[in-house]
Amino acid sequence: MAEWPTNRKYISGNVKRVDAAPKVTGKARYSSDIQANGWLYGMILRSKWPAAKILSVNLDKALKVPGIKAAVVARDGQFTVRYYGEEIAAVAGSSKQACLDALRAIEVNAQPSAGFVVHEDDGLKQDSPQVWEGTPNAGDPHVRNRGDMDSAFSECAAVIEGFYTSPVQIHNPMETHGNTVSWTDEGVTAWASTQGIGSVQDGFSGALGVDRSKVRVITDYMGGGFGSKFGPGVEGLLAAQLSKKAGAPVRLMLTRFDEALAVGNRPSSFQKIKMGALADGKLHAFQFENYGTAGIGAGADRGGGGGGVNIPAPYLYKVTNIHASQRGVAVNAGSARAFRAPGNPPASFGMECAMDDLAVKLGMDPVQFRLINDPVEIRRNEYKVGAAAIGWKDKYKKPGSSPGVVKTGIGCAGANWGGGRGSPDTQGEAQINPDGSIEIRIGVQDIGTGTKTVIAVVAAEMLGLKPEQITVKVGDTNFPPGPGSGGSATCASVSPVTFDICSNALQQLQSKSGIADARGDNWFAACKSLGVTPLKVTGQWQESLAGGPAYGVQFAEVEVDTETGLVTVKKIVAVHDCGLIIDRLTLESQINGGCIIGMGYALYEERVMDRVSGVVLNPNFETYKLSGIADVPEIEAILINMPERGVIGIGEPATIPTAGAIANAVANAIGVRVPNLPITPAKVLAALGKVPPITA
Amino acid sequence: MNTFQYATALSPDSARQLAGDHGAYIAGGNDLLGLLKDYLVSPDILVNIKSLPGLDTIQQGQDKWTLGALVKIAELEDSIDIQSVFPGIRDAASEIASPQIRNVATVGGNLAQHSRCWYFRHRDTVCLKKGGDLCYARESDNRYHCLFTGNTCISPVVSSLATTFAALDATAIVLRDGKETPMSMDALYHRAWENPLAHNSLEPGDLIVRVDIPTARSRSAYMQVSDKHAFDWALVSCAAAANIVGGKLDKPRVAVGSISPVPHQVEAANEFLDGKTLDDDTASQAADMILKDAKPLQQNAYKVPMAHALIRRTLLKLKG
């Protein structure tokens, strides 16, 4: 059975990204930078109606706009659009402005629907206009029952009831969705901004009817996806059609506006929780009703986990008596997709708020309450480590008891992530040259998390070389197949494969060169013995080198101005177990990013749908608010290194508990619960009872 | 955006001439480019005014200081002289947008910027302000909107400088067909108070050339609250200016931003404060007077307590 080396030079160390220099100097070419020979701009016309029948689309005038080379309709014949922003047509032309002009020249004959629904509560109403004709907007509930709720609650020493809600969150990766696509008789080449070159290859192949062997997908550098970039997308398929028509490569990158409408989001949650514990603090009864929206769809699973409405409940905890009921509500809005730890951040937020509320009612310390109820020893230990790091004992006070106008508070929450184990199908290869240079190729993609660096670190460790001596090539479907970057699986997929490639290389070098140990100082001599023929070796995934699941807890310390309602996060302590740490720097970077997105979820982010017009009101970074540098506190990442568990992915667990921890810290500061994310100044003032009633 | 001509003016007169009836002036361009790209305005010519002589300086005088319309927001933020004489202006400047924007944004542009109402700015809603027949914000999502207005539109003034200038009783000098027209901050925005289509009182071709700030008040302060800690619009902003003579307020003025189409000022409150010793209770009473006639809507009532706190704090900040 393969085992990681115990004496480690680079693994678990601090290795800078192998591509740091090209990234900070602008030399790195992202998908959105690709300028294929003779390329054209592509752009999409989107529905300005939340619901309409499209009777006809006339492209004639658009095609006459100077510079326009092709135009296509999104769907043939008459069709129905079901949300603001749904694709209607697309154009390709030699300049951005030509495309903009052409979009305005397209004539759309549409019959807007009289009725539409964009808010969850409206969708729940019996008589609400149906998003899908003949189908009620509110789906049948998924119900789970265990035990007798009535008697269970009567046995409890304390019972709380809360209604915790979280909004629809938009992925908003820094690089927008899109591709440059060239479709010729020879096949399709797509430079895609994707987290899954393999799934994009599949998507193009299937949708365009082109053999998979004739579809090549390339992703050299990529600016994030957070779960929303596994397929070619409507935008990719439209780019392909435009390319074929125009006889030229088409670069169709979405705008920030488009990102808010049609390329995925995290479903909302409206969680009614009634929960009780026995006198000894043991959770005893849990009643849960949740609804939320995934837009027009349930969130098609494209290989990175679903974007469905249902969330795990009662999340981390075991409760004897459970009644749980969940359902999705369709509304006229873009469909959800997998989003960093699908289902978990809202689950953690709702449940962990309920945990704190119940702890307060029991008169019990919230950390102690979790130690009693959390079934996982690793996480219980993390609570102890985190509590010590943030100074819980001194800082935790009775809710609302902090003196003065600006009150301080502290809170915590936990995370569970079943993924992170790696994909057994991952393969890789290396070419080792007589001059000692080595190139490792895996058909995975580095979505900004440091995958190339991880491969270099493992190879350097195994071969006794320096990371910079390893050439790493990823992001090409011509390489041996790698995993989609979803489920936090990438690190635990590529590390064992790299291990195996290197083991095989050492073995073969030994037999070819007769040098017993080809590592380190012997490497170049061993390679030289290859003569003129490079050595090619392959590698497979090794189960014994990867592990899971991942557990984490986070603590947050906040200040709340009780007169203005402004919440300031002072510190986050993030304690995560990561099995064997490959590279501490990229790992900490993942945790920082997870906390920052989680903080946006807690305090700032919310897709706002307009009830009257049906549009997304904030399709920009002006009013869709993201954490900025001035908002981000000190983040202390505490990594629990457990090499014996193998490599475990951390991307997703790192974002799960942040919102719950911050929400609990706010409640601890001001003594009342703000149960609705994002926790804006307006909501804090309302929770404090400072907002006058509206008389008009 | 639609096509337009582009010209650089070397004198105010030629700028006016070039602009004609359907032109627009461009300096920093932060607001204008957004309006152009969203097809909210389609001028036939952009007149570059960055080369107009003498408009990019801060002039210090005995009775008044003059800020040229082309002075950058970053200069207000960085100027040690502004910091010592008009700390309120410095504090307002430091809260505007981001450092990148402050490096190119100008005093004139900040005053002349148009509404940020998300219905006005949205490409697919034709609201009252754009000539439609419905104020969507009134019917729907008004979390960022006005507590006061003289018409149906509830889009607030968002210029942080306007709020501060109002408290300092500053005057914008507007070149109107070759003639210098002084406008108080109240006058500069008054049309937006009564006309939903307007966001200020400027006529086509009007050019803000400078702002005169009386030195009559030695103390000034500015504060705002946003959802975020930087690079975010104020939910409510407040500026105050006064002297403190023998422990008592002299010539006090308070203005509140983002709650009305104009910098919101209540003369009765200024009079009430005049001659008073500044303490929490006095400041609180003034805040009551300033917010007395607020008409909160479904989602913006939080602005009432927020503004109350800000008025108190900004006044107390005058004590230094």
Greater confidence, A650 or B220? B220
Cβ contact, residue pair B295, A630, below 8 Å = no
Could you tell me how many residues make up chain A? 696
B223 and B82, same structural domain?
A: yes
| Percent of chain A clearing pLDDT 70 (strictly above) | 98
The boundaries of the domain holding residue B36 are: 1-48
Are A574 and A550 in contact by the 8 Å Cβ rule? The answer is: no
B70 and B217, same structural domain?
A: yes
Give the chain B residue whose CA is nearest to the CA of A696. B297
Are A441 and A430 in contact by the 8 Å Cβ rule? The answer is: yes
CATH (domain of B14) = 3.30.43
Cβ contact, residue pair B306, A608, below 8 Å = no
Residues 6+ apart with CB under 8 A from B215: B61, B62, B63, B64, B65, B85
**Which residues of chain B neighbour A51 with C-beta distances below 8 Å?**
none
Q: Which of A171-185, A621-635, A682-696, B249-263 has the lowest mean pLDDT?
A: A682-696
How many angstroms separate the CA atoms of B104 and B113, rounded? 14
With respect to residue B142, please indicate whether it lies within any of the assigned structural domains.
no
Q: Is the pLDDT score of B320 beyond 90?
A: no
Give the chain B residue whose CA is nearest to the CA of A565. B306
Q: Is the pLDDT score of A303 beyond 70?
A: no
CATH (domain of B281) = 3.30.390.50
With respect to residue B106, please indicate whether it lies within any of the assigned structural domains.
yes
Beta-sheet strands, E only, within A196-333: 215-218, 250-253, 269-277, 283-292, 321-328
- Chain B, 81 to 140: residues with Cβ < 8 Å from chain A are 116, 118-119, 122-125, 134, 136, 139-140
B80 and B44, same structural domain?
A: no
**Which of A564, A612, A694 faces B139 most closely, judged by CB atoms?**
A612
Nearest to A48 by CA among B315, B124, B46, B10: B124
Q: Provide mean pLDDT across the span A83-95.
A: 98
Q: A156's torsion region: left (phi>0), alpha (psi -120 to 50) or beta?
A: beta
How many angstroms separate the CA atoms of A93 and A96, rounded? 7
B159 and B44, same structural domain?
A: no
Q: Is the pLDDT score of A300 beyond 50?
A: no
Nearest to A72 by CA among A97, A86, A91: A91
Cβ contact, residue pair A604, B225, below 8 Å = no
Strand partners, B67: B58, B211
Greater confidence, A359 or A421? A359
Average pLDDT, chain A: 96
Where helices occur in A420-522 by DSSP H, the ranges are 451-463, 490-513
pLDDT per position as a tens digit, A96-137: 999 999 999 999 999 999 899 999 999 999 899 999 998 899
Nearest to A190 by CA among A263, A250, A259, A254: A250
B88 and B38, same structural domain?
A: no
Residues 6+ apart with CB under 8 A from B313: A563, B223, B238
B89 and B30, same structural domain?
A: no
pLDDT per position as a tens digit, A312-331: 999 999 999 999 999 999 99
Please report, for residues A437, A498, A512, A520, A538, the alpha-carbon distance to residue A515 in angstroms, rounded to integers and kept in the order given.
18, 22, 8, 12, 21
How many angstroms separate the CA atoms of A341 and A267, rounded? 12
Angle at B81 (CA atoms; ends B77, B86), nearest 5 degrees: 70
Are A469 and A438 in contact by the 8 Å Cβ rule? The answer is: yes
Q: Provide mean pLDDT across the span A593-606.
A: 98
CA distance B302 to chain A (A): 5
B26 and B72, same structural domain?
A: no
Probe site for chain A from B36, B229, B259, B293 (most A CB atoms < 10 A) = B229
Residue A306: the pLDDT is 58
Residue appearing with tokens 């979505």: A447
Average pLDDT, chain B: 97
Residue A578: the pLDDT is 87
B104 and B220, same structural domain?
A: yes
Residue A674: the pLDDT is 98
With respect to residue B139, please indicate whether it lies within any of the assigned structural domains.
no
SS3 B96: coil
Residue A553: the pLDDT is 98
Please report, for residues A183, A445, A592, the alpha-carbon distance to residue A449 in angstroms, rounded to integers and kept in the order given.
30, 10, 12
**Which residues of chain B neighbour A687 with C-beta distances below 8 Å?**
none
pLDDT per position as a tens digit, A201-245: 999 999 999 999 999 999 999 999 999 999 999 999 999 999 999
**Which of A100, A625, A686 faces B232 most closely, judged by CB atoms?**
A625
Cβ contact, residue pair A604, B306, below 8 Å = no
With respect to residue B178, please indicate whether it lies within any of the assigned structural domains.
yes
With respect to residue B295, please indicate whether it lies within any of the assigned structural domains.
yes
Please report, for residues A506, A625, B168, B207, the alpha-carbon distance to residue B262 in angstroms, rounded to integers and kept in the order given.
76, 26, 15, 19
Probe site for chain B from A47, A564, A626 (most B CB atoms < 10 A) = A564
With respect to residue B147, please indicate whether it lies within any of the assigned structural domains.
no
Residue A696: the pLDDT is 55
Residue A308: the pLDDT is 85
B159 and B92, same structural domain?
A: yes
pLDDT per position as a tens digit, B159-189: 999 999 999 999 999 999 889 999 999 999 9
ipTM above 0.90, yes or no: yes
**Which residues of chain A neighbour B119 with C-beta distances below 8 Å?**
610, 613, 617
Cβ contact, residue pair A84, B124, below 8 Å = yes
B295 and B190, same structural domain?
A: yes
Domains of chain A: residue spans and CATH: 20-30+422-545 (3.30.365.10), 34-114+177-253 (3.90.1170.50), 342-417+548-687 (3.30.365.10)
CA distance A105 to chain B (A): 13
Residue A298: the pLDDT is 54
Q: Provide mean pLDDT across the span A280-284.
A: 98
Give the chain A residue whose CA is nearest to the CA of B223. A564
Cβ contact, residue pair B141, A617, below 8 Å = yes
Q: Provide mean pLDDT across the span B85-102.
A: 98
Query: In total, how many domains does chain B have?
Result: 2
How many angstroms separate the CA atoms of A573 and A564, rounded? 26
CA distance B210 to chain A (A): 29
B162 and B37, same structural domain?
A: no
pLDDT per position as a tens digit, A384-428: 999 999 999 999 999 999 999 999 999 999 999 987 789 999 999
Residue A434: the pLDDT is 97
With respect to residue B128, please indicate whether it lies within any of the assigned structural domains.
no
Cβ contact, residue pair B225, A681, below 8 Å = yes
Q: Does B299 contact A at CB distance below 8 Å?
A: yes
B66 and B93, same structural domain?
A: yes
pLDDT per position as a tens digit, A456-485: 999 999 999 999 999 999 999 999 999 999
With respect to residue B149, please indicate whether it lies within any of the assigned structural domains.
no
Are A274 and A322 in contact by the 8 Å Cβ rule? The answer is: no
